Structure 1
């Protein structure tokens, strides 16, 4: 009763997820018979995630059993909330954009296949580092947070990130959700007050067990200090009164969950890291700090002398966005929880895969269904560092190469298991080969020639069994097999890409799409329809129509599938083909599903400069790490040349 009165007195806010916000890039569904079969497979027959286990010592609860997902639960994907602790305006780096783009692709894909989807990103604004940065900048912490949060919002806008909520841990509904979560833990007897002592890292905002601390020598200054084995950040011995979470009581449940759900973390190697840490370094978690040391944060309810640990505060954002604690019994899923995918970087693995599931298990809240852990980005195979000055600013990259070109490079080059290398020269190679010379070139080859009209080709290609039989009789076996292979590729394209997306492999999905583009360019070069249309033989004209129709269909299907990956360029491609906006759904990504396109909505252009992907300007006055100019300068100064990846 005491808890109920306290919760009621706080007047918890209600926050409704903007799940019904209209999406301009996705159109109303239309289904042919074949398209409907494909759509049903991925909307209704997709395999359910493995059910979390129920330990013998505990009753069945939402945290340890997974009932069937309700049909009205939206797909829910998150990025980490990014830390805003820079003294000056923070500069988001390419890793932040990579997390955002991965989550954005998952959200857009789910919308494309007809599901309601909900996507949350945002900023983590409490903690010691923010407090110290604000003091150094002679600003109030909230002012610093407001300024730096805007930089991440700007990144999201520029990168076409289709988020539904930009979460800030200073938002009032989040503060109340954290207070409520604390009350629930206390009511279950899972919080105790103690004098805590241990090795604390301000840089990592966490305590480390003795086994995770070593003596470290700074290679540049020679300074010797105690540091974290994991991050090499300095630690100091701290003795203070605070509150602890009885996390060790959940050790067996966590290990049992990991064992019975080996695919919960991707890639599998990260699951091994997490299980090893719980087995060997697990201890109760200090979840508050004395206000004398940390004042910028959410105060412990009923004890204003303590501030809630920043990572407990930050992790709760994922359920705040889903409507916690204002969940109507039996309807908590309507806000999206449990999350379908948490997208995180490998440096915050332990917080999301040990602390977070333990906190959720403690309150019998369902665990997220998947944690996708991506690796980091290096620059010219060297670790990015602000002190060295080799951090890639994604805003500069997008201004130079274009938004979708940068998105493509991150998706096609990014690493999940291993770190990925960013090199401007390599980006140029990818741009020329796959975007300008591949997709853009193919669209121009189809839509710009005066020798044919795409709309007439589509009209003449309406299903006609007799004409198809006659055409086959004119073609050689080699040509029949060649074109039949293309038809089969297009028939299976949507299923192939969808299977990769079901496995959370957007890198492989986008590569599959661009293999289609490469194949179609090769077919055009082999069959030379520009020569066939000049022939006086009707059979040659029919052959040209067949080849060009396959290319048109391949571009239409690829454009539909690319909407999740390259939203702006996919829209431009489909506009150039004249594909109606209500015929751009996943259900339409099969051959002959739409026979009404072909009249361009935008000018196809007349040269390389106004193509889908115009030539890039490589000879820039400014040097940038990894550029040819930078390497030439290195040669002249007899320094080792930095090799770009081929």
Structure 2
């Protein structure tokens, strides 16, 4: 029956492909994929052979435009952007694709609710996502809209290949489908994944998905099917041969469990009478292609499918993607449906997936009804994009949902950015006018061999305990950072830099360069330059490593240190790799007082929304030493580097309790 249908449909295929050829300049060869091609990429997709010959290609999900952007969308964008920029400072050419998903029942209903045509509705919301991309300093190379004609042509070609250029029994077939369909999730759910519930607004009895708690409705309709169950063995083989294909591991286990226990053939069209906002079947205008099939193809549209290449025999340019960033709610579509569809056409699957969790507001699920949905544009205005990027990457975790709050950001901003990075920078590179040292003099002393000559004479005595105490951190931090970033653990990577700079703040407090500079003997001057050089190296290395995370602030830091633009790649992120930077200190009399608003991390309107309890403990414990909040926070960093975080927290709590009790 399938063969006879295909025989009858063949003239329609050639007519449709001829129409497509006029637009794209491509004439289909009509060659049929072989069964071997279907499984070829299940065993070879992760090999290193092709990855070194093509640019690094990373994608975000395309964001659904039924509502305005939220903080989760921003996080996905920033995460992908950080990984792309990381590849670039490693010396690789890299491309990033993002965009908007604009078809489907949700869009059709949302537009109707707003009294607008679907395209007009999509134009407005898609522009909001494009504006967010710009505001977040995302270095995307492509911004795709599924309403673009280029994409609709690619979907039509992909669809015709699925229908007519796949091995027998592995392509599309027509049938009747009934089941539980969720408009919000745009997918069918099997019987064992739905349950009865009560609609909170109306008290009406409804059925919902057990995965998302969104309402489902029973639907029966004529549709085209993709034989997903026929790809079960090929999918499991792909998973077996590539154990790190989906990160983190528990998400891979989740996807595998779905393949083993819930796999069903996939309904891949909807009657146009019910859904007309989408890409029509080129041969049957009564059927609209399933929104997820349409959406997933975007990743190869911008890689040139349908315009520059059409089969795996062609030069596929940047495809396959090296990494696809996705949220946990779209895991199944990307790691089961998408690879199976690619296998059907003999195309390579992506080399890997990174699946992230969702953000909550102060550990509560974000909800419009609760009024706690974070507007990413407001957040950027409030904190600045680089500090916000830093926070999102610092607090990211792939093992549970992440908590967002202004109190958390305030603490991170003050402690890690202002007191740790900013304070260290101004102590070393912009010293007070009363002192006479400069990073240029220190780096010059290193370049001339003065520091190494001094170090060779003093590596066994007292100096080893204090003046050499930063050496291990300088040598170990870049490698540790690389390891974490290559594993996509931005939080752990940031922790490496934080600890390097915290140790450097401790190092400066222990070596007291402000005392060394007062001594006139040559030995003290060399010792001073040794301290300033090591501290400047920590800042330079940190600036290079932080570029993907805070591109603007890291550039400001490196500019202020006098680091040349061509020496900001990963190969220079090691002690002594750059001996040609530094700035001269030119004290002015009388010394103008630097405005705190001109600093690299200026005060924010919300700076006092940091952790109140911590600040109160610091105020009480360090009141006798300094009343300045920034100096108190800097002192805390030094104490943590010396004693450890847990010991300091305990000491502060005990000191606070004793002084308050007294």
TM-score normalised according to structure 1 size? 0.85
Match of 1:65 among 44, 49, 55: 44
**1:506 alignment counterpart:** 490
Query: Quick check: which one's helix share is greater?
Result: 2
Aligned-residue offset at 1:74: 0.8
Between the two proteins, the alignment pairs up a number of residues equal to 582
Residue 357 of structure 2, aligned match among 372, 375, 392 = 375
Q: Does the alignment pair 1:7 with 2:17?
A: yes
1:415 aligns with 2:392: no
Task: Give the number of the structure whose alpha-carbon radius of gyration is greater.
Answer: 2
Q: 1:543 aligns with which of 527, 538, 543?
A: 527
2:259 maps to which residue? Answer: 278
Q: Distance in 1 between matches of 2:305 and 2:264?
A: 27
Contact preservation (8 Å) 1:513, 1:558: yes
Output the CA distance in 2 between the equivalents of 1:118 and 1:195.
42
Residues 406-485 of structure 1 aligned to structure 2 (within 5 Å): 406-449=388-431, 450=433, 451-464=436-449, 468-473=452-457, 477-485=461-469
Task: Tell whether the 8 Å contact from 1:74 to 1:116 is kept in structure 2 after alignment.
Answer: yes
Query: More displaced, 575-584 or 141-150?
Result: 575-584
Q: 2:313 and 2:540 mapped to 1: Cα distance?
A: 40
Query: CA offset at residue 65 of structure 1?
Result: 2.5
> Which residue does the alignment assign to 2:514?
530
- Deviation of 1:335 after TM superposition, in Å, equals 2.7
CA-CA distance at 1:56 after TM superposition: 11
Q: CA shift at 1:232, angstroms? A: 1.0
- Deviation (angstroms), 1:6: 3.5
Q: Is it true that 1:183 corresponds to 2:160 in the alignment?
A: yes
State the shift of 1:284 in Å.
0.5
Secondary structure of residue in 1 paired with 2:215: coil
Query: Is contact 2:467–2:511 with CA below 8 Å preserved after alignment?
Result: no
- Does residue 385 (structure 1) correspond to residue 367 (structure 2)? The answer is yes
- Residue 168 of structure 1 aligns with which residue? 145
Distance 2:210 2:35 in 1: 36
Residue ranges of structure 1 left out of the alignment (5+ in a row): 16-54, 629-645
* Coordinate RMSD, CA, aligned: 2.7
CA 1:520/1:316 → structure 2, altered by over 3 Å: closer, same or farther?
Answer: same
Query: How big is the shift at 1:393?
Result: 1.1
Distance in 2 of aligned mates of 1:601 and 1:208: 67
CA shift at 1:169, angstroms? Answer: 0.4
Which of 341, 345, 364 pairs up with 2:327? Answer: 345
Q: 1:119 maps to which residue?
A: 96
1:445 Cα offset (Å):
0.6
Instruction: Name 1:137's counterpart in structure 2.
Output: 114
1:404 aligns with 2:389: no
Which residue number in structure 1 is paired with residue 136 of structure 2? 159
Structure 2 residue aligned with 1:610: 598
Superposed CA deviations along residues 43-77 of structure 1, whole A, max 9, x for unmatched, are: xxxxxxxxxxxx99887624543351153311010
Give 2:557's aligned residue: 573
Return closer, same or farther for 1:183/1:549 CA change in 2, 3 Å cut-off. same
Structure 1 pair 151/58, CA: closer, same or farther in 2 (3 Å)? closer
The 5 A counterparts of 1:31-42 are none
Q: Distance in 2 between matches of 1:415 and 1:468?
A: 42
1:210 corresponds to: 191
Of the structure 1 ranges 65-74 and 572-581, higher mean CA displacement relative to structure 2 is found in 65-74
1:239 corresponds, among 200, 203, 220, to 220
Secondary structure, counterpart of 1:11 in structure 2: helix
Partners of 1:458 and 1:549 within 8 A in 2: yes
SS for the counterpart of 2:50 is: coil
Between the aligned partners of 2:495 and 2:18, the Cα distance in structure 1 is 53
Unmatched 5+ stretches in structure 2: 1-9, 26-33, 613-648, 650-662
| CA–CA separation in structure 2 for the residues paired with 1:324 and 1:231 | 33
Question: SS of the residue aligned with 2:44?
Answer: coil
In 2, Cα distance between equivalents of 1:373 and 1:600: 47
Contact 1:560 1:570 in 2 (8 A): yes
Q: Report the Cα distance in structure 1 between the residues aligned to 2:23 and 2:129, rounded to whole angstroms.
A: 25
How far is 1:608 from its partner?
2.9
Give distance in 1, aligned partners of 2:156 and 2:611: 50
Report which stretch shifted further, 425-434 or 324-333: 324-333
The answer as to whether partners of 2:410 and 2:607 remain within 8 angstroms in 1 is no
Residue 7 of structure 1 aligns to a residue whose secondary structure is helix
Cα deviation for residue 487 of structure 1 reads: 2.8
How far has the Cα of 1:362 moved from its partner? 1.3
- TM-score, length of structure 2 as denominator length: 0.83
- Aligned mates of 1:13, 1:419 — CA distance in 2: 45
After TM superposition, the structure 1 = structure 2 runs for residues 216-227 of structure 1, keeping only pairs within 5 Å, are 216-219=197-200, 221-227=202-208
**CA offset digits 1:196-216 (Å, max 9, x no partner):** 111111111111111111111
**Contact 1:77–1:343 under 8 Å retained in 2:** yes
Deviation at 1:557, TM superposition (A): 1.3
Moved more, 126-135 or 58-67: 58-67
Give yes or no for the alignment of 1:261 onto 2:218. Answer: no
